[in-house]
DNA sequence: GCGCCCGCTCAGAGCGATCTCAGAGGTTCG
DNA sequence: CGAACCTCTGAGATCGCTCTGAGCGGGCGC
C-alpha cells in the first residue's frame, strides 16, 4: 500500500537506513538559516531524520539529544570554530561521520588532516546532489548505512553507474563524463521513469548560488545525449512543457 | 445543498485521505482573496479540509491551529518572504509539504533550493487541475496521503495514465500527448462515467486568465479522440447540450 | 421534413520551448 | 606557463503546441 513505511524516501525509492531499519539521523549545523533549511529539506527527502543548529553550542545540545549518525558541519560558526565542535562531537557520539562545509579558499591542509579519520568535506558553493551523495558515501563506508538495494551502483536498463569509482557504462562501454554531466546523470538515474522539471534539476544539480537560467539544463542534457544515447536507442527523453525523463529502452 | 461523507469528494470518487481516514488538511496562503477563494474551492472539491490566509503572520497562526498536511503558498506576500514563512512553517509542522505559487519571471531568482526537498511549485497563471495534481503528488510522495485506489496510476478500462512518468497507454500501446491534451485527459480519467460540461472543463484545465471560448475544448476533445480512440472502440463520448464523458468500453 | 444550432475537423498563424553551435572566461594539471 | 578541459552565455534555427477562423454535417425541435 502507499502508507509510507519508515524506510521509504519521499521520492519512493528504498531508503538508506540504519542496520535496525530505523531512519538515519543527521544533524545540520550552519549559521545561515536559509541554507540550513535547504540542506535539511534535501536530506529529509532521502527519508532521513534531520535536525538543525545555528551555532556550536546548540549543535552539541542537539547532538546529545538526537545522537546523529552523521553531521553536516559548517566550518565557520559564529561562536566556535568547526574543529572545536568536531572534538566535542566525538566525545558525545564517538562514531559519528562528519561532512564539512567550507569556503573554497579555506585552509585545505587542515581539512585534509581532519578528513583522514574517514570524514569528508565539500566546498561552498555546492550542489545538493553532491552533499547528499557525500553523506550517503560517508555512512556507507562507516558501515552504518544499510542499503536496501545492491550497493554503490545505480542501474537503469543497460546503463550502469558506479558512484564510488565515478564510472559510467552503457552496454558495457565506458562513457566519460565531466563532473556536471555526472551529477546530472546521477540525478536522472536516481529518478528513473520520473519526469523532472528543469527547475528541479537546476535546484539539485547546480549550486544554490547559481544565478543562471534553466537554459544550462538544456545544454547539459544535450551533452549527455551525445554521450549516453550516441547512436543507440535513446534513454533520455524530452517531455515538452514538463521536463526530462530517463527510461530504460522500451521492452 | 449537497450532503456528503467526510471521506468522499463532491464529485463522488473516493477521496485521498490521511492514513487514519480523516480528510487531508490544506492551508492556502495568497494575498489575492479571489484567487485564494478559487483555489480553496478546487481543493475542497477534492474532499479536503481547507483554510486560507492572506499574509505570512496569519498563515502561521492558521497553521498552528489547523496543522495542515500541505500548504499552497504564494511566494510574494505583503509581509514576509517565502523562505522565512517556509522555515517557520517547518518549525510548526515539520512534515508539511509546500506548493509554491510564483510569477513566471520570479521563477529564475529565488526558487533555487525551494524544490530541493519534497516541495514543488507552479507558475502563475496556472490551471486548477495542475495545482490539485501537484498537491496530490506532494502528499503521495510524502506518504501522507492514503489513496483509496491503486497508486500513482489512473486506470479507466484499458486506458492507463502514469502521472509521474507522464505516460499514457491504451491496451498497452503508448500514446503521446501534448501538455494540454494530457491535462484534459487526466481530468476526464479522474471523473470517469461523469459528464463534464465544457465550462467545467475550461475552468479546470485552462488557466484562470484564459480569455478564449469553449470552442477550444471541442478542439482538444477532437485531438484526444484521434489519439485515444484512434480506430478502437470509442471511450470519449459527446453528450449533446451537456458535455463529454469518458467511459470504459461496455462489455 | 426543414432549418437551426451544436459540435467536429481542417488548415494555418503566431509564439514559445528546445536544441545546437561557437566561443569567451576560468580552472586544473603537468 | 601552456595545453586541455570545463562551464556558461548568446544567438540562431527549428520544431511543436495552442488557438483562431471557417466550413461542414448531423441531430433535434418545431
Q: Which pLDDT tens digit goes with each residue over B49-90?
A: 999 999 999 999 999 999 999 999 998 888 887 778 888 998
Ordered structural domains, chain A, with CATH: 16-147 (3.40.50.2300), 153-246 (1.10.10.10)
The reply to whether residue A241 touches residue B87, judged by beta carbons under 8 angstroms, is: no
Identify all chain A residues contacting B145, using CB atoms and an 8 Å cutoff: 2
Q: What is the pLDDT of residues B83-123, one digit of tens each?
A: 788 889 988 998 899 999 987 666 555 566 677 778 888 98
Identify all chain A residues contacting B115, using CB atoms and an 8 Å cutoff: 197, 199-200, 203
Q: Give yes or no for CB of A181 within 7 Å of strand D.
A: yes
Average pLDDT over residues B128-141: 93
For B171-176, the CB contacts below 8 A with 24+ separation are B171/B232, B174/A250, B175/B227, B175/B228, B176/B227
- Measured between alpha carbons, how far is residue B173 from residues A13, B158, B186, B214 in Å? 26, 10, 17, 30
- Which pairing describes strands A70-74 and A25-29: parallel, antiparallel, or unpaired? parallel
Q: What is the dihedral of CA B150, B154, B156, B159, to 10 degrees?
A: -120
Per-residue confidence at B170, pLDDT binned at 50, 70, 90?
very high
d(CA A152, CA A131): 16
Question: In terms of residues, how long is chain B?
Answer: 251
Question: Which of A147-156, B175-184, B228-237 shows the lowest mean pLDDT across its residues?
Answer: A147-156
Strand partners, A32: none
d(CA A31, CA A14): 31
The reply to whether residue B111 touches residue A239, judged by beta carbons under 8 angstroms, is: no
d(CA B227, CA B159): 12
* Cβ atoms of B180 and B210 closer than 8 Å: no
Identify all chain B residues contacting A3, using CB atoms and an 8 Å cutoff: 19, 143, 146
Q: What is the pLDDT of residue B83?
A: 77
Footprint on protein of nucleic strand C, Cβ below 7 A: A 198, 215, 218-219, 221-222, 225, 238, 240-243; B 198, 215, 218-219, 221-222, 225-226, 238, 240-242
Q: Give yes or no for CB of B237 within 7 Å of strand D.
A: no
Query: Which among B94, B93, B101, B98 has a CA at the least distance from the CA of B77?
Result: B101
Question: Which of A9-23, A57-71, A103-117 shows the lowest mean pLDDT across its residues?
Answer: A103-117
Residue of A nearest to B165 (CA): A194
Using the Cβ of B24 and the Cβ atoms of chain A, whether some distance falls under 8 Å is answered with: no
**B148 pLDDT more than 50:** yes
Q: Using CB atoms within 10 A of its CB, is residue A11 exposed (0-12), middle (13-18) or buried (19+)?
A: middle
d(CA A207, CA A201): 11
**A246 pLDDT more than 70:** yes
Per-residue confidence at A71, pLDDT binned at 50, 70, 90?
very high
Could you tell me which residues come within 8 angstroms of residue A91 by beta carbon, excluding any fewer than 6 positions away?
none
Using the Cβ of B136 and the Cβ atoms of chain A, whether some distance falls under 8 Å is answered with: no
The reply to whether residue A2 touches residue B140, judged by beta carbons under 8 angstroms, is: yes
Among the residues of A191-228, which ranges form H helices? Answer: 198-205, 215-224
d(CA B117, CA B142): 10
DSSP per-residue string spanning B1-27: -----TTB-TT-SBPPB-TTSSBPEEE
For residue A211, give the 3-state DSSP assignment. Answer: coil
- Which pairing describes strands A120-124 and A97-103: parallel, antiparallel, or unpaired? parallel
Could you tell me which residues come within 8 angstroms of residue A176 by beta carbon, excluding any fewer than 6 positions away?
A227
* Cβ atoms of A219 and A225 closer than 8 Å: no
- Which pairing describes strands B173-175 and B167-170: parallel, antiparallel, or unpaired? antiparallel
Could you tell me which residues come within 8 angstroms of residue B201 by beta carbon, excluding any fewer than 6 positions away?
B184, B187, B217, B243, B244
On the question of a cis peptide bond just before residue B12, with omega within 30 degrees of 0, the verdict is no
The radius of gyration of chain A from alpha carbons, rounded to an integer in Å, stands at 19
Buried b (16+ CB within 10 A) or exposed e, B204-240: bbbeeeeeeeeebbeebbebbbeebbeeeeebbeeee
Average pLDDT over residues B4-29: 70
**A228 pLDDT more than 90:** yes
**B197 pLDDT more than 80:** yes
- Where on strand D do bases come within 7 A of a protein Cβ? 5-11, 16-22, 27-28
Q: Give yes or no for CB of B87 within 7 Å of strand D.
A: no
Residue of A nearest to B180 (CA): A241
Q: What is the pLDDT of residue A47?
A: 87
Q: What is the pLDDT of residue A6?
A: 42
d(CA B187, CA B236): 12
d(CA A159, CA A189): 9
Among A200, A209, A242, the residue with its CB nearest the CB of B166 is: A242
- Where on strand C do bases come within 7 A of a protein Cβ? 6-11, 17-22
Could you tell me which residues come within 8 angstroms of residue A94 by beta carbon, excluding any fewer than 6 positions away?
none
Query: Which among B105, B99, B106, B140 has a CA at the least distance from the CA of B122?
Result: B99
The reply to whether residue B83 touches residue A37, judged by beta carbons under 8 angstroms, is: yes
d(CA A74, CA A81): 9
Using the Cβ of B153 and the Cβ atoms of chain A, whether some distance falls under 8 Å is answered with: no
Identify all chain A residues contacting B142, using CB atoms and an 8 Å cutoff: 4, 10
d(CA A121, CA A116): 11
Q: What is the pLDDT of residue B50?
A: 97
**pTM assigned to the model:** 0.91
* Strand blocks (E) in chain A: 16-17, 25-29, 49-53, 70-74, 97-103, 120-124, 146-147, 153-156, 159-162, 167-170, 173-175, 236-239, 243-246
d(CA A48, CA B176): 37
Amino acid at each position: 500500500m502507499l502508507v509510507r513505511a519508515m524506510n521509504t524516501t519521499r521520492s519512493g525509492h528504498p531508503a538508506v537506513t540504519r542496520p535496525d531499519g530505523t531512519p538515519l539521523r543527521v544533524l545540520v549545523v550552519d549559521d545561515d538559516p536559509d541554507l540550513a533549511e535547504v540542506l535539511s529539506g534535501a536530506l529529509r527527502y532521502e527519508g532521513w531524520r534531520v535536525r538543525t543548529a545555528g551555532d556550536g553550542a546548540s549543535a552539541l545540545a542537539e547532538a546529545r539529544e538526537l545522537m546523529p549518525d552523521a553531521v553536516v558541519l559548517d566550518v565557520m560558526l559564529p561562536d566556535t570554530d568547526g574543529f572545536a565542535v568536531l572534538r566535542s562531537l566525538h566525545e558525545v557520539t564517538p562514531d559519528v561521520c562528519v561532512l564539512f562545509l567550507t569556503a573554497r579558499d579555506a585552509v585545505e591542509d587542515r581539512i585534509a588532516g581532519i578528513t583522514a579519520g574517514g570524514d569528508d568535506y565539500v566546498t561552498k558553493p555546492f550542489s545538493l546532489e553532491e552533499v547528499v551523495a557525500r553523506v550517503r558515501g560517508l555512512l556507507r563506508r562507516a558501515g552504518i548505512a544499510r542499503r536496501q538495494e545492491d550497493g554503490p551502483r545505480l542501474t537503469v536498463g543497460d546503463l550502469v553507474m558506479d558512484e564510488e569509482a565515478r564510472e559510467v557504462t552503457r552496454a558495457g562501454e565506458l562513457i566519460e563524463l565531466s563532473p556536471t554531466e555526472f551529477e546530472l546523470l546521477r540525478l536522472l538515474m536516481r529518478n528513473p521513469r520520473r519526469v523532472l522539471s528543469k527547475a528541479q534539476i537546476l535546484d539539485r544539480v547546480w549550486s544554490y548560488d547559481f544565478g543562471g537560467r534553466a537554459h544550462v539544463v538544456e545544454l547539459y542534457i544535450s551533452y549527455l545525449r551525445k554521450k549516453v544515447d550516441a547512436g543507440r536507442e535513446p534513454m533520455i527523453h524530452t517531455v515538452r512543457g514538463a521536463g526530462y525523463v530517463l527510461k530504460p529502452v522500451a521492452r
